[in-house]
Structure 1
Amino acid sequence: MATVNEAVERMEWKRARVSQKRQVTIPQKLFEQAGIKDEVEFGIKGNHIIMRPVREHTGSDYFADLILADLIKEGYTGEQLLAKFREKQAELQVAVQQLIAESADVARSYRGTGEDETKKLFGDVIED
């Protein structure tokens, strides 16, 4: 299992100066490869700063856009489109609730067994 440090060491690296105002210019190649548009967000894991592009469509908005695009491709319009969209959204909510319930059941079944619950549920994960 690779650790975060091992994964970071295998990355392509570019140097950049940090200005007195803590500003950094992102090398163009990395900027393009990451798909950065207008904004980035930062996180920290151990002593590593992680920067990633902000994605406009996340969570339920993302799925709503996918549902709507599929229904339009299927030829739905007007009131029929709206009704079918609401139906698909309700189906999605039920499916998500079922997944949450199932994952909670699986997690409970491993509790107290001494086994690595995360590894059992998700396989190998990168850890710091």
Structure 2
Amino acid sequence: MVIANEAVERVEWKRARVSQKRQVTIPQKLYEQAGIKDEVEFGIKGNNIIIRPVRENTANDNFSDLILADLIKEGYKDQELLQKFRERQAELHGAVKSLIAESGEAARNFKSGDDDTDELFGDVVED
């Protein structure tokens, strides 16, 4: 379903030569707009190469600040705090992996019609 008011993102294209060493210079305007500092990372989607600035992990990216806050409230200090922090981070990683696996299974079941969503959403009409 396409929403009429959906904003269409325009792409600004610039050309750059590729050297014999496979090097390119990023045009300054694009470099600044992307917020590139000293490193970029590359990805590929189809036949398109994606270049983006490396984003340093922040506490919010892996919930470290929330884990630490909970542990401090629970009264942990010093080495015990560090040990419990590592345990909770490992638990979080496992929980995320489980959620990903469960969502994949739900998607496969939905495609095959083996899920229970029709009971819940059977009256919803898709356009």
Structure 1-normalised TM-score? 0.53
Q: 1:44 to 1:78 in 2, by over 3 A?
A: same
- Using the TM superposition, give the Cα deviation of residue 107 of structure 1 relative to its aligned residue in structure 2, in angstroms: 2.2
Q: Which structure exhibits the higher relative contact order, with contacts defined as CA atoms closer than 8 Å and separated by 6 or more residues?
A: 1
**Residues 38, 103 of structure 1: alpha-carbon distance in 2 compared, 3 angstrom cutoff:** same
**1:92 partnered with 2:92:** yes
Larger Rg: 2
Distance 1:82 1:37, change over 3 A: same
Structure 1 residues 68-77 or 83-92, which shifts more?
A: 68-77
Task: Report the AA paired with residue 37 of structure 1.
Answer: K
User: Is the CA contact (8 Å cut-off) linking 2:40 and 2:54 kept in structure 1?
Assistant: yes
Alignment partner of 2:42: what SS? Answer: strand
Identity fraction in percent: 66
User: Equivalents in 2 of 1:45, 1:31: separation in Å?
Assistant: 21
Name the CA shift for 1:85/1:51 in 2 (closer, same or farther; >3 Å): same
Q: Give the number of the structure whose residues are more often helix, by fraction.
A: 1
Q: What is the alpha-carbon root mean square deviation over aligned residues?
A: 3.6
In structure 1, what residue type is equivalent to 2:11? Answer: M
- The answer on whether the counterparts of 2:67 and 2:85 sit within 8 Å (CA) in structure 1 is no
Identify which of 64, 68, 71 aligns with 1:71: 68
For 1:67, the aligned partner's letter is S
Distance 1:47 1:82, change over 3 A: closer
Q: Post-superposition shift, 1:99?
A: 0.7
What per-residue deviation string (whole Å, max 9, x for no partner) do you get for residues 100-124 of structure 1? 34213302312434xxxxxxxxxxx
Unaligned runs of 5+ in 2: 3-8, 114-127
> What is the distance in 2 between the residues matched to 1:18 and 1:42?
16
